[in-house]
Structure 1
Amino acid sequence: MTTGSFVGRFDLDLGLRDASLDPANRPTRRMLAAAAIGTEVNDAYYAAVELREAIEWVHDGHPGGKLKLSMILGNACDDYQRCLYFILAGRGIVQMLEDLDWLESLLEARGRVAGKLFKRRAPVMPQVRPYVAAEPDGPLVSVARDFDQGPSWYLDPQLSE
């Protein structure tokens, strides 16, 4: 494909590319943005929302929170949600939730732009799926109703702010 093939087409991943390279963003946010590049617009957004909600549930002590999170991490679909989780794992619950909320905002804006372009039948650049397979590439997290929460869930210094 020549460069001319993309002239006049909108790159739906442009905001994610910018965020992934912006030195003003902390490293975890840059990694989250980079991990979302190429993911289908709606899948990326709803997967991030689902993951953030599950993490919030665990943090808030919701009875189904741990099961929900372990089901997400043990799901036999592509590795996108696991990738997002493990970018943030151990960083502290406040940062985890702030960073996922930040990613959600980026992905929501991306979805709004995609919707407007679709309505106008405007051309967009083809997205290259970042995942080779629709199933996991390696071992899965075991699904459990309960698991031990390490210090990042309750000793986060930002919790006292």
Structure 2
Amino acid sequence: MKTDCIEAFDLDLTLKDASSDPSIRPTRRMIAAACIGLGPEDAYYSVRELREAVEWIHEGEPAGKRKLTTILSNHCDDFQRCIYYALAGKGIVLVLDDLQWLEGVLQARGKLAGELLRGKRPMLPLVSPYVASEPDGPVGRFDVDFEIGPSWSFDPGPDYEAFDRVVDPKLSL
């Protein structure tokens, strides 16, 4: 379909690029790939809600644990669990950094979708990766008083940039 010589825009293009870019940290590639096909609003607000819960826990906000257990035990699709478990145990600084990065990508994607809709510009249809609106498998039961492990206080310090270094694929191990 064409309008004014402009072909349908692929809203997932940035996510597809990010998911396969070797200069991007592997965890970011994973979570970008997990968002492909999701509606702009659902993806953005789901990641924002998850980031807020994780941030609240990190900041010692009592409501954070309750919010995270509610998210992880929710009987809707598995998207938020997918994002959380892709990052769990990686260290809170990196987890929050990756969630904030993804939230920014998804926010820009949502703004672009809005502009395209308002301008009546064609977009490629989004094909959700989820085939059901409920979980596909067991959903855990969580105690809001769960213990905070060492990854929730891990700070890589000045070597943080080392986590983003790209390994030259030509180098052999």
TM, length-normalised to structure 2? 0.86
Q: Which residue matches 2:17?
A: 18
Q: Answer yes or no: is the 8 Å Cα contact 2:16–2:36 preserved in 1.
A: yes
The match for 1:133 is 132
Give, as a single letter, the amino acid of the residue that structure 2 aligns with 1:132: V
> 1-side partners of 2:140 and 2:13: how far apart?
32
Number of residue pairs the alignment of both structures matches: 157
More helix by share: 1
CA shift for structure 1 position 159: 9.4
- Unaligned stretches of 5+ residues in structure 1: none
Shift of 1:144: 2.3
Q: What residue in structure 2 maps to residue 44 of structure 1?
A: 43
What is residue 79 of structure 1 aligned with on the other side?
78
Query: In terms of mean alpha carbon deviation, does 143-152 or 47-56 score higher?
Result: 143-152
After superposition, the Cα gap between the structure-2 partners of 1:142 and 1:159, relative to the gap in structure 1 and judged at 3 Å, is farther
CA contact (8 A) 1:64 1:145 kept: no
Q: Which runs of 4+ in 1 moved over 4 A?
A: none
Q: Offset of 1:160 from its aligned partner?
A: 10
Offset at 1:156?
3.5
Residues 142-153 of structure 1 mapped to structure 2, 5 A cutoff: 142-153=141-152
Superimposed CA distance per residue, residues 84-131 of structure 1 (whole angstroms, 9 cap, x where no aligned partner): 000000000000000000001110110011000000111100111110
Structure showing greater radius of gyration is 2
Task: Find the aligned partners of 2:157 and 2:58 in 1 and give their Cα distance.
Answer: 14
Which amino acid is 1:26 matched to? R
- Gaps in structure 2 of 5+ consecutive residues: 161-173
TM-score between the two structures when normalised by the length of structure 1: 0.92
- The question of whether the paired residues in 2 share the 8 Å contact of 1:54 and 1:68 is answered with yes
Distance 1:79 1:104 in 2: 18
RMSD: 1.9
